[in-house]
């Protein structure tokens, strides 16, 4: 076989074509090497030598491309190899970071999103920006959880949904059902602010049962005092220092005074928040797909007695004492 036939074989023609493509895209810094390799390929004596020469050129091309890419990655973002990075430029307000640094940061962000804990952290921050407002999807999840808990007679999960849902009527029904299944959950009667962020005390009959089951707890009486008239306190302290006559009006409410006396005399103050937190933690650890908005909106709407009632009652007691001193009794 002649040299010309060997040089024009299919393998030789493919090798020339591949090297020609490499030369067209060769980096400028080492482009003369690529042109020299392309010029010398016609001097090969056989198809094997042509292919071997072409492969060597392609390997050199690959090294040149990778070397150029690494230099480009080390440049600040937005720069190129032909920008003259050593040329003096004006001051920049932002620090210049290499593309390697940018890639590492983006990789770390992607890894954070890939981890369940990372996604949960991001969702928690996002929910806090939205004031833990539940979405329609959250409402459907809670409803599905309640349906499953009802079938399984799971009182604790029903209590969790009752404390977490934003539907007052649904919360009321689930609360009564949970206590019906497990009377030990009677504490949830005093743990739900039904109209957050506005104050709406639990139902009077619920508070009566709470007082009967936990008579040494001041919270049950304070919540009942709030339920009598939650707007009672506001006019007293918005107009400055109240007068004695205004305290006498509060003192004339015998039912409110009796509840406050029992609250002051109670040996314990337990708002049941710790129980609410433990219940939420248990369910959240079990139900991994619950959003932070569901969890934190429930905790945020926990009923807490108005401390202004305590403030007002202390002033009423002090005013009564001063009045008695003036009378000499």
- Specify whether 61 is located in the same domain as 137: no
- pLDDT value at 5 more than 80: no
Task: Please state whether the predicted TM-score (pTM) of the whole model is above 0.75.
Answer: no
Q: Is residue 35 part of a domain?
A: yes
Q: Is residue 108 part of a domain?
A: no
Q: Is residue 106 part of a domain?
A: no
Q: Is residue 91 part of a domain?
A: no
- Specify whether 23 is located in the same domain as 164: no
Q: Is residue 62 part of a domain?
A: yes
Q: Is residue 79 part of a domain?
A: no
Q: In the predicted model, what is the mean pLDDT of residues 6-28?
A: 70
CA pair distance 93, 175, nearest whole angstrom: 57
- Specify whether 173 is located in the same domain as 310: yes
Q: Is residue 113 part of a domain?
A: no
Q: Is residue 88 part of a domain?
A: no
Residue 25, domain extent: 3-74
- Specify whether 172 is located in the same domain as 311: yes
* pLDDT tens-digit map of 118-176: 766 766 676 666 666 777 888 899 999 999 999 999 999 999 999 999 888 999 999 99
Residue 64's nearest CA partner among 36, 34, 35 is 34
* pLDDT tens-digit map of 57-84: 778 778 777 776 666 666 665 555 555 4
CB 15 within 8 A of CB 50: yes
CA pair distance 23, 279, nearest whole angstrom: 69
- Specify whether 154 is located in the same domain as 288: yes
Q: How many domains does the chain have?
A: 2
- Specify whether 153 is located in the same domain as 243: yes
């Amino acid at each position: 076989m002649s040299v010309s036939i060997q040089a024009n074989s299919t393998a030789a023609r493919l090798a020339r074509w591949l090297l020609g493509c490499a030369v067209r895209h060769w980096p400028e810094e080492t482009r003369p090497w690529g042109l020299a390799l392309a010029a010398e390929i016609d001097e090969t004596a056989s198809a094997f030598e042509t292919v071997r020469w072409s492969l060597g050129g392609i390997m050199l091309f690959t090294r040149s491309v990778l070397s150029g890419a690494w230099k480009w990655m080390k440049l600040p973002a937005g720069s190129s190899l032909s920008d003259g990075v050593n040329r003096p430029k004006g001051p920049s307000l932002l620090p210049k970071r290499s593309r390697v640094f940018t890639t590492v940061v983006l990789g770390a962000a992607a890894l954070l999103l890939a981890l369940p804990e990372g996604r949960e952290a991001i969702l928690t921050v996002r929910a806090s920006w939205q004031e833990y407002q539940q979405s329609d999807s959250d409402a459907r999840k809670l409803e599905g959880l309640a349906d499953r808990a009802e079938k399984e007679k799971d009182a604790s999960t029903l209590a969790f949904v009752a404390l977490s849902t934003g539907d007052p009527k649904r919360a009321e029904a689930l609360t009564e059902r949970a206590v019906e299944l497990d009377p030990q959950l009677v504490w949830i009667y005093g743990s739900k602010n039904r109209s957050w962020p506005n104050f709406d005390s639990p139902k009077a009959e619920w508070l009566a049962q709470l007082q009967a089951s936990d008579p040494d707890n001041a919270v049950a009486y304070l919540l009942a005092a709030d339920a009598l008239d939650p707007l009672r306190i506001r006019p007293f302290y918005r107009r400055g220092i109240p007068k004695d006559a205004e305290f006498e009006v509060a003192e004339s409410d015998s039912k409110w005074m009796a509840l406050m006396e029992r609250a002051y005399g109670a040996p314990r103050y337990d708002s049941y928040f710790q129980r609410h937190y433990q219940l939420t933690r248990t369910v959240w650890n079990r139900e991994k797909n619950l959003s932070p908005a569901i969890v934190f909106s429930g905790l945020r709407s926990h009923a807490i007695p108005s401390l202004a009632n305590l403030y007002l009652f202390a002033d009423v007691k002090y005013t009564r004492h001063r009045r008695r001193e003036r009378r000499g009794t």
